[in-house]
Structure 1
Amino acid sequence: MNFKSIITSFSFTIVFAIYTINSQNTIGETEVFTTTNQAVGNITFTDTGDLVYSHHPFFSPENRVMIMDAKTKTSKPFPNKAWNTPRTTDDNYLSNVLGIRNDENGIVWMLDMAQRDHVTPKIVGWNTKTNQLERIYYLPKSVVPKHAQPNDMVVDTKNGYFIIADEGIGNGGDGTNAAFIIVDMKTGKTRRLLEGTRTTLPENTPTVINGKHLAVNGTDLLVGNDGITADANFEYIYYGPLNGTKIYRIKTLDLVNEDFTVTELDGKIETYSEKPNNGGMSIDIAGNIYLTALETNSVAVVLAKDKSVKTMVKDANMVWPDGVSYNHVDGYMYVSAAQVNKGAVFNDGKDLSTKPFYIFRFKPITKGVSFR
């Protein structure tokens, strides 16, 4: 190791130690960035660092997607009110959106599950530089069958694919049809992969929050393929079922390779690390993976150096942390607290969520990976 490497390593050790000391039993410290009147699902950012976020569809919000000025913290519908207003003349509007990502070209991509208004599921790209529609990719029934619930995605501009994690809990689904959906950015061609296989299926690890099982009509809700992210070079896709104890990874070019059989593709998948039941997932340039730990009001981190699982940040008001995303402008990771477990569907028809809804932020161990 040369002198520069020694200094870099020593500096990292000091920073890591400071993080550890700052907050008991956590690596980092979190702060409340802002609060909202409606539940926030996932978050992404414009080139100038403004927050674009989905209102969680479990609460049937009037406006599906919002944009918040990072300085004034004022919000308005994104990309505009018309796109958040259902109509019968066409389906060029947002029905229900959870997954939302930006790319290096200034385009915000919104994954419309379309269950609320029974329109065609789609990915809508809005160019924030020109304030115009960039493109719509429609997702046909062949890749979004009845029990599909396309939840989150990686926007891989290097290889030219959208890689979507489908939880398999749409329209009463029990997670057994969880899968991947691949969309070719150039041609729009879609494929459904690894449906109901060992790494997309949920495990029998029910979500338990404050001693209460997340259940519908007395049956534990087990959610399949959910959190998903890609490393800085789009070499690997990291993913896992929400209800599950493992993070898996596969080389991106293997996952999108149309020549592999299901058996061959399954053989390319690595078991990467342990994990808690989790929602959103993000990553930094060192390969540390951040994931929202739903049951413990926290964000966990899988350390790249040894794949150990630690608590990154924790807060009593971080109830059902959902999406976690890196803001390339200010260097913070942002995480929403959606209170999904308090929704009516899980509480005998009574919405137990309480205002305000929180958006937290924290500094990652090292620089996060943008556009994931």
Structure 2
Amino acid sequence: MIARIALAALVAATPLTAQTFEVVAELDQGPGNVTVTPDGRIILSLHQFYAPEMRVVELTEDGSLVPFPTPRWAGPRQADGTGLAAVLGLRSSADGVVWMLDNGSGGQVQQRLVGWNTQTDELEAAIDIPAEASVEGSFHNDLALDAERPLAYTADIAGGFAIINLETGEGRRALDGHVSTMAEDVDFIVRGELLRNPDGSRARVALNPITISPDNEWVYYGAMNGTAVWRVPTAALADPELPAEELAALVERYGDKPPSDGITVDDIGNVYITDGGGNAIGVTGPDGRYRVLVADPRIEWPDGMSAGPDGWMYATVNRLNNTPPLNAGASTEPAGPYYVVRWRPIGSAVVGR
């Protein structure tokens, strides 16, 4: 029997607006990101800013949160290598392997990728992110999975990509310090309040949102404190022989966005954006124009997103603007409730995005 660690009140088909937006669950713990497996299991990371007991959980049909993949693996890192220090980014592959990006609690311990095969219910791999894939201050925050190559691309908020081979464990860097991976000098404002670092300075967070197109042709990304969605050909990012200047020349500015956290994309090039400043989910289409898809007071800091096999797009709402790391070291109470929400995309959703 799996031990239940928290309760979530499942709210079926609660519309956020007249559009097809729904609250899937109301949570009493702050989620990080979300992924949905090919067979419809909803997996959540619990955000490290809230010091959760469990790092990753599954949202069950009755609305409870249970440790994922097991109580031992969902808990703190152990001497034998089991467990997780802190997880934000996670993503399911098309064959049901959930890859969890353990950022080592902000890099305090070894950062790594842990894959759990949900079809066989066993460990797929635990891969330390090699030194070659990190720089001083690396914080591997989110990831995208290559559907054609055994590669994961991580967004490092130090301002660059890490490319990790999931078969060999080898890794390298790409686009370090490129204009597309660095923060812009723009403020992130939520509910009229400026996001500030614990020391009171204005937050400036670099590369964070990342996704990969359903046809696997493009990696889309941007800075949290940034006003642009960028993209680069997946094949180019994957090529270790391509000179850095040639890779940089292939980067394209896809369109506009507000300062934001997560992104995902449908099969016709609509990039969905968690718009924390607008309490909204927005979309940047192939025309490069950003528009709000839905806005609601309950959507206070939407974070990670994932496509499900049911055709819905899912997102977490975790109110991070109230936490000390983004609120000048202070905590604004009460922090909750938190949500998992979903909506019908303009195009088709594809699992793994």
Could you list the per-position Cα deviations for residues 22-51 of structure 1 after superposition, in whole angstroms to 9, with x for gaps in the alignment?
Answer: 957xxx442211111111111111232121
**Residue in structure 1 matched with residue 66 of structure 2 by the alignment:** 76
SS at match of 2:177: coil
Which structure is higher in helix share? 1
Contact 1:121–1:144 (CA under 8 A) maintained in structure 2: no
C-alpha separation between the residues in 2 aligned to 1:366 and 1:189?
35
TM-score normalised by structure 2 residue count: 0.91
Matched, 1:151 2:141: yes
C-alpha separation between the residues in 2 aligned to 1:247 and 1:84?
33
**Residue in structure 2 matched with residue 167 of structure 1 by the alignment:** 157
**Residue in structure 2 matched with residue 239 of structure 1 by the alignment:** 221
Greater gyration radius: 1
Contact 1:95–1:116 (CA under 8 A) maintained in structure 2: no
Contact 2:48–2:105 (CA under 8 A) maintained in structure 1: no
SS at match of 1:105: coil
Q: Residues 87 and 272 of structure 1: is their aligned pair in 2 closer, same or farther, counting only changes over 3 Å? A: closer
What is the percentage of aligned positions where both structures have the same residue?
32
Matched, 1:63 2:54: yes
Q: Residues 343 and 258 of structure 1: is their aligned pair in 2 closer, same or farther, counting only changes over 3 Å? A: same
Matched, 1:93 2:83: yes
Equivalenced residues, count:
336
**Residue in structure 2 matched with residue 323 of structure 1 by the alignment:** 304
C-alpha separation between the residues in 1 aligned to 2:81 and 2:33?
22
RMSD (CA atoms):
1.8
**Residue in structure 1 matched with residue 343 of structure 2 by the alignment:** 362
C-alpha separation between the residues in 2 aligned to 1:137 and 1:336?
26
**Residue in structure 1 matched with residue 109 of structure 2 by the alignment:** 119
Q: Residues 223 and 353 of structure 1: is their aligned pair in 2 closer, same or farther, counting only changes over 3 Å? A: farther
SS at match of 1:255: helix
Residue from 28, 32, 46 that aligns with 1:37: 28
**Residue in structure 2 matched with residue 193 of structure 1 by the alignment:** 174
Contact 2:107–2:137 (CA under 8 A) maintained in structure 1: no
Structure 2: segments with no counterpart, 5+ residues: 1-15
SS at match of 1:370: coil
**Residue in structure 2 matched with residue 262 of structure 1 by the alignment:** 244
SS at match of 1:219: coil
C-alpha separation between the residues in 1 aligned to 2:106 and 2:249?
37
C-alpha separation between the residues in 1 aligned to 2:253 and 2:78?
46
SS at match of 2:73: helix
C-alpha separation between the residues in 2 aligned to 1:43 and 1:98?
9
C-alpha separation between the residues in 2 aligned to 1:289 and 1:34?
24
Q: Give the Å deviation of 1:349.
A: 3.1
Residue from 258, 262, 280 that aligns with 1:280: 262
Matched, 1:338 2:318: yes
TM-score normalised by structure 1 residue count: 0.86
Paired letter, 2:33: N
SS at match of 2:131: coil
Q: Give the Å deviation of 1:267.
A: 0.7
Moved over 4 A (4+): none
Matched, 1:289 2:271: yes
Q: Residues 286 and 334 of structure 1: is their aligned pair in 2 closer, same or farther, counting only changes over 3 Å? A: same
Contact 2:311–2:350 (CA under 8 A) maintained in structure 1: no
Could you list the per-position Cα deviations for residues 263-319 of structure 1 after superposition, in whole angstroms to 9, with x for gaps in the alignment?
Answer: 221111111111111111111111111010110111111123x22211112211111
Residue from 115, 130, 152 that aligns with 1:140: 130
Q: Residues 240 and 39 of structure 1: is their aligned pair in 2 closer, same or farther, counting only changes over 3 Å? A: same
Contact 1:91–1:120 (CA under 8 A) maintained in structure 2: no
Structure 1: segments with no counterpart, 5+ residues: 1-21, 169-177
**Residue in structure 2 matched with residue 180 of structure 1 by the alignment:** 161
